[in-house]
Amino acid sequence: MSKAVQLSYNQAGYLRHGPKFAALARETSGQLPWTLSEAATGVVQIQGITLPAYRDPLTGALLHCADFSSFKTAGVYIIQIDEIPSEPFRIGDNLYGTLTRDALHFFYLMRSGIALTEQYAGKAWARPAGHLSDKDIRAFAGTDTQGTKWDGCSFSIDGSGGWYDAGDYGKYVVNGGISVWTLQNAFERMPDSFSDGDLAIPEQQNGIPDILDETRWELEFLLRMQIPSGQPLGGMAFHKLHDRVWSGVPAELPTYMDNNNEMKVGASWGRYVYEPTTAATLNLAACAAQAGRIWKTFDKAFAERCITAAEQAWEAARTNPIILAGNVPGAGGGNYDDVNVEDDFYWAACELYASTDKPEYEAFIRNSPYFKTFQGLNGHGAAYSMNWADTAALGSITLVTVKTALSEKDINEIKDLIVKTADRYAVIQRNDAYATPIDASGFVWGSNSMVLNNAIILALAHDITGDRSYLSAVSRAMDYLLGYNSLRKSFVSGYGIDTLEHPHHRFWANDPVKGLPPPPPGVICGGPNAQIQDPVAEALGLIHRPIPMRYVDEIGSFATNEVAINWNAPLVWVASFLHRAFQR
């Protein structure tokens, strides 16, 4: 299949009633002719001239854009700008229903501690259960790379289950937190968009929407990471669980150790949980509180268990407010260090208040610097709304999503905050030739998730105001991810003509000789990263490229081409939103 993509366009297609743009980067003055033709017959359906050429401020490219938004007939088409054609693409209504399911199925394929069978995973992605030894695991004891000595704990915990975080085999409470929240929020706001039987997972047809079955797999892991009452720091949550050293890339999936404590092929070695932190504890409190109200109608006992764990975590975090993550052990896993946890306190208080209506949580919210301020929906002034380290926006979204005792005035002020924040992203998007709702400061590790999280804010602004310009902005953000970008690349596997094929992933290494499959459809990679943070990016000289083009589809480029649960979660949210919003 040819990958000589010369136009920037949404390679997966366009919604019938949404915006439709394609662009050609060419150093030529004047406007260019374009045509939209049926792919099968070549019959021209609509034609015109490009918009006045626009110099993209970040890439320096002179873009000639064809706007064919007025065309609303379903079918398969080719857009041609000045005799440069696209590959065939669809125009239709049901473009994002399948993507929603594929993006959500990603989480089943990232499960730890369970065999993925061909029935549910598909032949290519079936595999044995990984890291069964996590069921009985101890805290790291020893000296880290910074010379700090850690005593460990006198007890072991059950750290089994959960999702592998990214391209490695680590499991992290702080990243699991925002991922679970995003999926649970998608269900809580759009329950009619998800049902039992949506996914190929073992729990299907149990009377519970599959998206909740999947989030419960991670929730159970998060709950198991909580230190039992009666132990030192009881109620706190361990920060993470991973190997003492990094595994190779690619790497066979670790499974077990034999009775002589000898490694078998693919066995785990030197795997630990690492110190409890305030941030991890508050992530647990927030997600468990959110789950407590969602699960009441499906499993009352589990809902009550979640609320109990959430309140215990809250009290533990209040008692231990400054236990921050460090570089422990310095290899084998990411730090996910967060030196500011005020936003996490605010988020957890919002979730607990929304689930319990207790005045103590309302009082905490009102005294927080994140309550009804731009700071609460804008991180630390950067052009992105939320990520694993900036979680205050999650709490504010919950306060306008879930009915509480807050006054209408309070709620409207938070809604105004969301709309004002969305307006900032809309301005950024309009000034970017590729309709990206992040500026240069947003091109960080995982920039594609910044695009998606900002799109969530734009979607909320549409729901609040009914203004369809926000709806179009969400659609255009998805266009960027699916090929309307300076690289002319779809960052989502299986969606487009030139898509993600070689992610940084131990198992989805796309190496048929070794029996390692390509990525399944519906997986998004991190995307362009202004900083050069891996050897492949350095060797290829990505630093000399314009910031939005600092990306490479190679397995070794973990800083641009890794996959992660907190990136696929907003992909599910945004795809499901667009699928629902554009159904006619």
Q: Which residues are catalytic?
A: 168, 504, 553, 562
Interhelix angle 278-294/173-189, nearest 10 degrees? 20
88: cis peptide before it, omega within 30°? Answer: no
Question: What does the H/E/C string look like for 97-152?
Answer: HHHHHHHHHHHHHCECCCCECHHHHCHHHCECCCCHHHHCEEECCEECCCCCEECC
What the block records as the tokens of 456 is 């969530």
The β-bridge relationship of strands 171-172 and 237-243 is antiparallel
The DSSP code sequence of 278-311 is HHHHHHHHHHHHHHHHHGGGT-HHHHHHHHHHHH
The three-class DSSP label of residue 358 is coil
Task: Report the C-alpha gap between 567 and 449 in whole angstroms.
Answer: 5
Contact 25, 486 (CB under 8 A): yes
Of the candidates 18, 379, 486, 390, which has an alpha carbon nearest to the alpha carbon of residue 174?
390
The interaxial angle of helices 447-465 and 408-430, nearest 10 deg, is: 130
264 touches 295 (CB < 8 A): no
Which helix (H) or strand (E) element contains residue 213?
helix 210-224
Burial of 233 (C-beta count, 10 Å sphere; 0-12/13-18/19+)? middle
Give the C-alpha separation, 506 to 487, whole Å: 25
Q: How far apart are CA 241 and CA 461, in angstroms?
A: 37
To the nearest 10°, the Cα dihedral for 454, 459, 461, 466?
A: 160
Question: Residue 156: beta bridge partners?
Answer: 138
Cα(227)–Cα(156) distance, integer angstroms: 10
